[in-house]
Amino acid sequence: MVDGTKRPYVVAVAIQVIYTGLFVVSKAAFDSGINTYVFIFYRLTAATALLLPLALISSCRRRSTTMATPEPTMSCRLVFKLFLYALLGNTFTLNVYNGSLKQTSATVGSAATNSMPVATFLLALLLRMEAVKVRSRSGLGKLVGVALCVAGVLVIAFYAGPSIRPLAHHPIFAHKPHSVSNSAWIRGTFLLLLACATWSLWIVLQVPLLKEYPNKLMATAMQCLFGALQSFVVAVVVERDFAKWKLGLDIGLLAILYSAFLGTGALMYLQAWCAEMKGPLFVAMWSPLALVFTIVCSSFFLGEAVHLGRYVIF
């Protein structure tokens, strides 16, 4: 059993492991040709199919237990708030992020998440959810951590260092590489940073949301449901050829199942729980760990030649 004081740290590491798998399988699916907007719709639909029944069963059990705390009510104002949060954290963030991931690499996608501690820190300061005491060790630690994250993002985005050969000669998910122009790579990198910023805002907003509505499972399920409906509208507008919506027994289906059950359902629940326990900045500060994992896994499974970064030519 994990001690209660150590549990948030174990959960934070588990979140980064899930992220690593999400980066790798999603990039492999996009390289195989699946439409990113259709992918997001299937991902959120599958996550809703998993989480919503569990949330309803959990709510029914809470109501049948007389000793349990009263079940919070789902007001119209709360439903509208969940709809907006789903639009921000699911529909917008996931579609922008995955569309940009297709133009770059799994390693760059993971590296972009290093900007999340910076964005989360600034947002938490603006909303007075975090305080910095410069003269204290904790305050200095936060500032140093933010500075390192900024430096890491700049290195990945602007510096092209020596390449690292793939760890596997015959990667499992390797596909024929497609050429990406330098401008597309730059655009994709900055859109990844934008998606990470909106995801940071979503993490920060979960703290007051869970104080208003403590049922984390139902809140997560409702956001997945609204996100699936919103993403369906986006996918229909972008991809009207429904023949391309068909799924087969390939990496696309594997990526959808993984991203739905772990990358959306479990990840959103664990991040909301961790943010409630230790604050939103604590969740975001662990994101550099996923970069280390992704460098190894993308090289081994995707056959990517990993670089320290790329020159950005304006």
- 68-72, 145-149, 282-286: lowest mean pLDDT where? 68-72
Q: What is the mean pLDDT of residues 14-36?
A: 86
Tell me the Ramachandran region of residue 303: left when phi exceeds 0, alpha when psi lies from -120 to 50, beta otherwise.
Answer: left
Q: Select from 184, 262, 205, 255 the least CA-distant residue to 81.
A: 205
- What local confidence, expressed as pLDDT, does residue 60 receive? 80
310 has pLDDT over 50 = no
The set of residues, in sequence order, having a beta carbon less than 8 Å from that of 153 and lying 6+ positions away, is 111, 112, 114, 115, 118, 193
Q: Select from 51, 3, 99, 21 the least CA-distant residue to 272.
A: 51
Q: What is the mean pLDDT of residues 83-93?
A: 93
The set of residues, in sequence order, having a beta carbon less than 8 Å from that of 173 and lying 6+ positions away, is 24, 25, 28, 31, 251, 301, 302
- 98-112, 143-157, 251-265: lowest mean pLDDT where? 143-157
How far is the C-alpha of 294 from the C-alpha of 160, rounded, in Å? Answer: 18
- 66-70, 211-215, 256-260: lowest mean pLDDT where? 66-70
Highest averaged pLDDT of the listed ranges 80-84, 103-107, 118-122, 214-218: 80-84
Q: Select from 40, 154, 110 the least CA-distant residue to 298.
A: 110
* 3-class DSSP assignment, residue 47: helix
Task: Provide the mean pLDDT of the chain.
Answer: 78
Q: Select from 298, 273, 266, 206 the least CA-distant residue to 46.
A: 266
How far is the C-alpha of 275 from the C-alpha of 283, rounded, in Å? Answer: 6
**Domain coordinates of the chain in residue numbers?**
12-63+76-302
Around Cβ 17, how many Cβ atoms within 10 Å? 14
How far is the C-alpha of 24 from the C-alpha of 311, rounded, in Å? Answer: 23
Confidence at 75, pLDDT banded by 50, 70, 90? confident
- pTM: predicted TM-score of the whole model, two decimal places: 0.77
